[in-house]
Amino acid sequence: MTASDGLPIVIAVDGGGSKTDAVAIDLDGTVVANARGTTSSPHIIGMAESVELIDRLIGDILAQTGPRAITQTNVYVSGLDLPAEIAAFTAAIAGTAWGDAVVDNDLFALLRAGTAEADAVAVVCGTGINAVGVRADGLVIRYPSLGIISGDWGGGWHLGEQALWHAARAVDGRGPETSLATTIPAVYGLESLQAVIEALHFERIPNADLSLISPSVFGAARAGDAVAGSLVDRQAAEIVTFAATTLRRLDLLDRAVPVVLGGGVIGARDERLLGAIERGLAERAPLAHIELVTAAPILGAAMLALEAAGAHAALGRARAQLESRQVAPVASGG
């Protein structure tokens, strides 16, 4: 038995586009249990499956802690972008042991991982792309983040899709040559681009696995491939547009506001991508300053859960224990 056995805990969950983390934390900031699963995004696996996966992870951490009173539960999930989605998720967890939870999009966990400022913007670029902005008076700027139909482009999946599009056109002569025509088959262990196309068409390769191409895009760009370089530049421009637009909608372009950047594509720290983002923000939002988050966003989820429980003195200890957990690189961030 330890001094903390039986004492109350908070639970924090961060569910991204490729993985889900759950932790239990004592009110003194000690991380006492953790569990990890695959993506819990309802956009990828469905709402019922998302709730089931998170319930299972929380069950795992409660099995580790033993009987404890749960003081606070905060759950942040990719794909909870619309009010109707948040309401549906909240209703679905009502019968669980942890159902009295704060539920929101995982961008809020990323935002808190990068800053505690009341005026702030966060942009995530992992499997997909999204942004959120907050202002001290309570104004929140959100986006539907439903892909092309809501005006979005970016993240590992879109990079992979566009890389394959260009590679296919290079092979049959409709587009410029690119080394992606040879590097993409290697991603899947296939001999030709035609084999990749057929495997996707017949669903031997899941459509979601287009995101696996993303590292090859950055590698080809670093090697001087013009097509790959144009995709990296387009990705940087989309991130800058999200950040600058959110600052404008918050009426914060004239203030020194943190822009928190995270997700696997950004977390890979590609020099061309980050350099273009820095230059773009300097031009469009010169007072903004970048906060690059490489720690897994479960850090921010934990900070928010502890704050909601009033355990402000525990934040430093919890942060020290969770900061070492790193976001997965490039194609697998969420």
Who contacts 158 (Cβ-Cβ below 8 Å, separation ≥6)? 128, 129
Identity of the amino acid at 259: V
What's the mean pLDDT in 84-110? 94
Distance in angstroms (rounded) separating the CA atoms of residues 316 and 301: 14
Residue 98 scores a pLDDT above 60: yes
Predicted confidence (pLDDT) per residue in 180-228, tens digit: 999 999 999 999 999 999 999 999 999 999 999 999 999 999 999 999 9
Percent of the chain at pLDDT > 90 equals 89
Q: What is the pLDDT of residue 1?
A: 33
Percent of the chain, pLDDT > 70?
Answer: 96
17 confidence band (pLDDT: 50, 70, 90): confident
pLDDT over 60 (residue 4): no
- Rounded to 5°, angle at Cα 323 from 319 and 324: 140
The reported pLDDT for the residue numbered 331 is 44
Strand residues in the chain grouped as ranges (E):
9-15, 19-26, 31-38, 70-77, 102-104, 120-125, 129-134, 140-141, 258-262, 289-292
CA distance linking residue 39 with residue 211, whole number of Å:
14
Residue (of 260, 257, 261) closest to 286 by Cα position: 257
The torsion angles phi and psi of 65, rounded to 5 degrees, stand at -85, -25
What's the average model confidence in pLDDT over 266-282?
A: 96
Model confidence pLDDT, tens digit, residues 155-188: 999 999 999 999 999 999 999 999 999 999 999 9
Residue 333, pLDDT above cutoff 80? no
pLDDT attached to residue 41: 93
The tens digit of pLDDT for each residue in 319-329 reads 999 987 766 65
CA 94-128-178 angle, 5° bins:
160
Residue length, the chain? 334
Q: Tell whether the model's pLDDT for residue 3 goes beyond 60.
A: no
What pLDDT, on a 0 to 100 scale, did the predictor assign at position 330?
52
Vertex 260: Cα angle to 315 and 86 (nearest 5) = 80
- pLDDT per position as a tens digit, 234-268: 999 999 999 999 999 999 999 999 999 999 999 88
The pLDDT mean for the chain works out to: 94
Q: Hunting for tokens 């993506």 — which residue is that?
A: 39
What's the pLDDT score for residue 298?
96
Nearest alpha-carbon partner for 217 in 291, 268, 278, 280: 268
* DSSP type of residue 248: H
pLDDT at 256: 97
What the chain holds in terms of domains, given with CATH numbers, is 9-106+297-332 (3.30.420.40), 109-294 (3.30.420.40)
For strands 19-26 and 9-15, give the pairing: antiparallel
